[in-house]
Amino acid sequence: MALSSWAQEATDRFFSSRKSPSQAQCDDVALSVSDASMVSPVDSPGSLSYTVICNGRPGLPDLVISFREPGGTLDEEMVKLAKEIHGDLVPESTYHGNVEGADPPLSIYSMPCLQGSSCVEVLAFQEEMESDEQAKHTVFIRHLARYFARSGGREGIRKRFARLERELPPSSLPNSLLSKLIEDIPSHFNQDYPQVLTHGDFSVKNILLDEDTFEITGIVDWSLATIMPFGMDLDILYLTTWFMTRDGWHDYACKQLLRDVFWDEFWAASGIEGEERRGRTRRLAEARNADGSPSEEVLVSEGRMKQLGAWFGGEAAT
């Protein structure tokens, strides 16, 4: 399948900044790793990676091979946590080492090829939708709300520390320190700013949809995943209830209906009850600047999380 012009431009930019390997050389590596007969670039490429779908594997399903620069590598623990929370929506990745002689370095990962097309290829680009189109878009918004509800709060941090407590060698970090961290997690953060598993690049190109039903079939590219305040990824709610053309941003006529559907589904799926608690949660999520980015108060809470991470890393290094 031929790439769209913007996708081809993104791929060209990725390789134009590199000394080696070339796109053709990456394709050859992908064929070797996957034992496939042909490769084709994904429709929505990332800025820090070159990713292909490998077809024609005798008796085996298609495989995705992703070549990733240092800033886009996958944190195995974060991918595991994401998969625990979101199940089959998250592709399990396998690391295959680095491309020999790559400049800058490139890491190689393989993962299953999930079904579906990216949001940017599926969602409508007109203000008024036909009734069936609006109904499908509503299905997508409901799935989006369930995704955020599943992402969890402090429990995500507890899970990560608990796994470290089980798996780290005793010499790396005293179990007593990890146990104390797990016990003290609630005291590190204000109740108004729950810390959740955050994708970090939760954009329309990284969400896969069933083209017929608009159900979410996959979430890809977890290279920026981390624990951050709830709402940091909620730009996507705004990006999928309006759209951009060369003339600028345009609201869907049903924008407010879609956003109300999101919150109704989120309350039901998350189990959050009470007007006061719901009000605090929604206030945090909607505390955004004019351009849709998270407000200063949310970023301050993010800073608290980074301080804990820096402290934890410092302890681990001693």
Q: What is the pLDDT of residues 41-67, one digit of tens each?
A: 998 898 899 999 999 999 999 999 999
Mean of the pLDDT values across residues 148-168?
Answer: 62
CB 18 within 8 A of CB 104: yes
Whether residue 175 contacts residue 165, with contact meaning beta carbons closer than 8 Å, is answered with yes
Q: Over 90: is that where the pLDDT of 239 sits?
A: no
| Confidence at residue 179, expressed as pLDDT on a 0 to 100 scale | 61
Instruction: In whole angstroms, give the CA distance from residue 15 to residue 19.
Output: 8
Residue-level pLDDT at 245: 82
Given pLDDT bands bounded at 50, 70 and 90, which one contains residue 180? low
- What per-residue confidence (pLDDT) applies to 308? 43
pLDDT beyond 80 at 155: no
Determine the residue type at 26.
C
Q: What is the pTM of this model?
A: 0.81
Residue 268, pLDDT > 70, answer yes
pLDDT number for residue 162: 59
Residue 315 scores a pLDDT above 80: no
- Decide: 135 and 252 in contact? Cβ < 8 Å: no
Residue 111's pLDDT is: 97
Of 297, 291, 302, residue with least CA distance to 239: 291
- Tell me if 254 sits within 8 A of 134, measured CB to CB: yes
Q: What is the mean pLDDT of residues 12-21?
A: 94
SS (H, E, C) 47-105: CCEEEEEEECCCCCCCEEEEEECHHHCCCHHHHHHHHHHHHHHCCCCEEEEECCCCECC
| Residues 220 and 203 sit within 8 Å (Cβ to Cβ) | no
> Is residue 93 within 8 Å of residue 110, measured between CB atoms?
yes
Strand ranges in 161-289 using DSSP code E only, listed in sequence order: 195-198, 207-209, 216-219, 226-229, 242-245, 248-251
Predicted local confidence at residue 235, as pLDDT: 87
Q: Is 110 left (phi over 0), alpha (psi -120 to 50) or beta?
A: beta
pLDDT tens, 78-129?
999 999 999 999 999 999 999 999 999 999 999 999 999 999 889 988 999 9
Q: Can you tell me the mean pLDDT for 288-315? A: 51
